Structure 1
Amino acid sequence: MNYDTFIDQVAQRTRGSSEDAVALSSATLETLAERLTGGEVLDLAAQLPKPLQVVLKPSPRTEAADRFGAAEFVARVALRAGVDETAARNGARAVFTTLREAITGGEFDDVITQLPRDYREMVEPAMAPGATLRRSGL
């Protein structure tokens, strides 16, 4: 999936502007990169378009994952994107769903297994049948 398609799909899912989708995508991916082990960040970045790879800031030196729950994840996304926590939560859901469509080879499952149970509210919509734009009719 190319960058413009990724951003367009996030914008459609959040019913927001492209500018908002860029901010939410960047904030979500940057926060996700903090939560994943370095190797997983590198694997994820390898499958994304260049502008999103830069946001992930993959580095072989960052092996340890920062351990924080879903509430902290949403708070960090909100701060980075300059939105309230409801918009951040909805944006993160949209990014996770789009991410699932953008990457292949079980990589999404590898990412999700590193997140604790309290992330389910954000992640499960991405895993549900019909989560894609084509099937959901958005």
Structure 2
Amino acid sequence: MNYDTFVDQVAQRTRTPSERAVELTHATLETLAERLTGGEVLDLAIQLPRPLQVVLKPSPDTEAADRFGAAEFVARVGQRAGVDGNVARDAVRAVFTTLREAISGGEFDDLVTQLPRDYREMVEPALAPGATLRRR
């Protein structure tokens, strides 16, 4: 999936303009990169378009992941994007669903296994049948 398509998918899912979808996507991916191990960030980055790889800031030197729950994840996304918790939660769901479409199923599964159970509310919509948008 190319960068413009990724952003367009997030914009459609969040019902926001593309510029806002870029902010929400970046905030979510930056926070996700903090939550994943360095190796997993590298694995994820190589499957994404270049502008999103830069956002993840993959580094082979960063192996440890910050351990924080779903509420803290949403709070960090909200702070980065300058939005309230409900908007941030919806954005996280939209980005996870778009990630599922953009990367291999095995890589998405690897990513999800690094997240604790309290993330399910945000990740399960990405796993649900029919979560993907139909291509035009």
For normalisation by structure 1, the TM-score amounts to 0.96
- Residue identity opposite 2:42 in structure 1: L
Q: What are the residue-to-residue correspondences of 1:1-138 with 2, within 5 Å?
A: 1-134=1-134
Deviations 1:94-134 (A, max 9, x none): 00000000001510000000000000110000000100011
Query: Structure 2 stretches of 5 or more lacking a match?
Result: none
In structure 2, how many angstroms separate the alpha carbons of the residues matched to 1:106 and 1:4?
A: 23
In 2: Cα distance, 1:70 partner to 1:105 partner = 22
Cα deviation per residue 1:3-44 (whole Å; 9 max; x = unaligned)? 000000000000111011000100000000000000000000
Instruction: Tell me how far apart the structure 2 counterparts of residues 125 and 63 of structure 1 sit (CA, whole Å).
Output: 28
- In structure 2, distance between residues paired with 1:104 and 1:125: 17
State the alpha-carbon separation in 2 of the partners of residues 105 and 124 from structure 1. Answer: 14
Paired residue secondary structure (2:134): helix
5+ unaligned residues in a row in structure 1: which ranges?
Answer: none
Distance across 2 between alignment mates of 1:20 and 1:93: 15
- 1:56-115 C-alpha deviation (Å, 9 max, x unpaired): 000001000000000000000000011111000000000000000000151000000000
Q: Which amino acid aligns with 1:82?
A: G
Matched letter for residue 2 of structure 2: N
Higher mean Cα deviation, 39-48 or 100-109?
100-109
